[in-house]
Amino acid sequence: MFEKILIANRGEIALRVICACKELGIRTVAVYSEADRYSLHVRFADEAVCIGPPRSSESYLNVASIISAAEITGADAIHPGYGFLAESAHFAEVCQTSQLAFIGPHPDAIRLMGDKNRARSTMAELGLPVLPGSEVIQSESEAREVAAAIGYPVMIKAAAGGGGRGMRIVKLPEELAGALQTARNEAAAAFGTPDVYIEKYITSPRHIEFQVMGDHHGKVIHLGERECTIQRRHQKLLEESPSTQIDAAMRQRLGGEVVRALQKIGYTNAGTVEFLMDENRNLFFLEMNTRIQVEHPVTEMVTGLDLVKLQIQVAAGERLPIEGETVGLRGHAIECRICAENPETFAPSAGKVTGFHVPGGTGVRVDTAAYAESVIPPFYDSLIAKLIVHGKNRAEAISRMARALEMFIVEGISTSIPIHEKIMADPDFRAGKFDTRFLARFSPNGAGGF
């Protein structure tokens, strides 16, 4: 087992990794930017190293500074969390070259799944269903031929993308040229390459993903699915497990297909295979995230497993302590992402937290790095807390989430709590009737939707 792990991240996920390390008896190193000097991950780690100015490009994305911090402190492994360098094949390779264990998949797997078009082709070859689509588009004329063959509406997507950047929905042929150029420009700015591809657009989809974990001894498991349909600006806002749309037989069949596909490519550590579901409950592979997810706690709540501990143990060479290819799911869990945002416009709301109280009680968990008098800086993601609840069924989980949201106090900044309260009270949500455009009803300015 590792003796000391450096966490190449910040905020609640850095604290989450520190918690897992403490329970495993592993010392920790926090890295922080000048903006995070008084953050809780700095306080609770055994050691902390400042790696640069507030801008993430000069700190949390600065590979040289992070590797130097690991070498100076004598760390023998690095956990990247999510975001920042978590899905950087280059960073994983630099860790290996520096004789630091990277707590995540092999660089080849990260690179393969990071190219969304190659990932689609690979998963199709391995037997997973994929939407009709193209290879990388080379010209406008090719785009027109592909779109006509697939049938409108279509989605233009960045080949190296994610998070909604470099994506454009095209409903009519006359919209194609402008959307193609815009998507290419966004892709180049966000990911360093203008490569885009086209796939069929599902008008009323649901977003469902399978949590997977693989060890270095050839074993891969899945831990059920999460429903991630409720989103704004292509960003997830609420997740739950299990999905109301997946029954036991479908879970076993599709989960088994996912496991066998990942075994064939030798996948290791944590990952999430994401699908879109159409109106007929057909599932199509969307992408794979080669890291721990923001929403991993809902899976922990319904399985009783500590996914971050499993990540560390697998990276250290241990076998997955689970028989078969899955575990049973117990009850129902929901996670609400509490973001520092205006609940009407979703505009960021940085500033000082003047009052802070987290809810408690049976079945309630809060993952956060915020506290009273802490400062939410404007330089990073707006997520400030994850409120997770567990109940014996979905109805109890919704009721528990509603009361927990009412008891969650954040003063001094705006948060997304009011929008979550509206969601919990919505009769369609309670009935499980929603798609990725669900938030549009709460967002007149069009910020909602997929």
Measured from the Cβ of residue 167, the count of other Cβ atoms closer than 10 Å reads 20
Tell which phi-psi region holds residue 228, choosing left (phi > 0), alpha (psi between -120 and 50) or beta: alpha
Structure tokens given for 105: 């998949």
**132-200: what fold?**
Dna Ligase; domain 1 (3.30.1490)
Which residues in the chain are classed under CATH 3.30.470.20?
A: 206-442
**What is each CA distance from 184 to 1, 118, 193, 342, 405, in whole angstroms?**
45, 18, 8, 30, 40
Q: Which of 16, 111, 232, 291 is catalytic?
A: 291
CATH assignment, 206-442: 3.30.470.20
Which residues in the chain are classed under CATH 3.40.50.20?
A: 4-103
Compute the distance between CA of residue 212 and CA of residue 204 in angstroms, rounded to an integer.
26
* 8-state DSSP, 130: B
* Cβ-proximal residues to 97 (8 Å cutoff; 6+ apart), any chain: none
The structural architecture, per CATH, of the domain 4-103 is 3-Layer(aba) Sandwich (3.40)
What phi and psi values does residue 438 have, to the nearest 5 degrees? -55, -40
Per-residue pLDDT of the chain (450 residues; tens, 9 = 90+): 999 999 999 999 999 999 999 999 999 999 999 999 999 999 999 999 999 999 999 999 999 999 999 999 999 999 999 999 999 999 999 999 999 999 999 999 999 999 888 999 999 999 999 999 999 999 999 999 999 999 999 999 998 877 678 899 999 999 999 999 999 999 999 888 999 999 999 988 999 999 999 999 999 999 999 999 999 877 899 999 999 999 999 999 999 999 999 999 999 999 999 999 999 999 999 999 999 999 999 999 999 999 999 999 999 999 999 999 999 999 999 999 999 999 888 899 999 999 999 999 999 999 999 999 999 999 999 999 999 999 999 999 999 999 999 999 999 999 999 999 999 999 999 999 999 999 887 765 544 443
Structure tokens given for 177: 């040229």
Q: Among candidates 236, 150, 258, which has minimal Cα distance to 197?
A: 150
Active site includes 144?
Answer: no
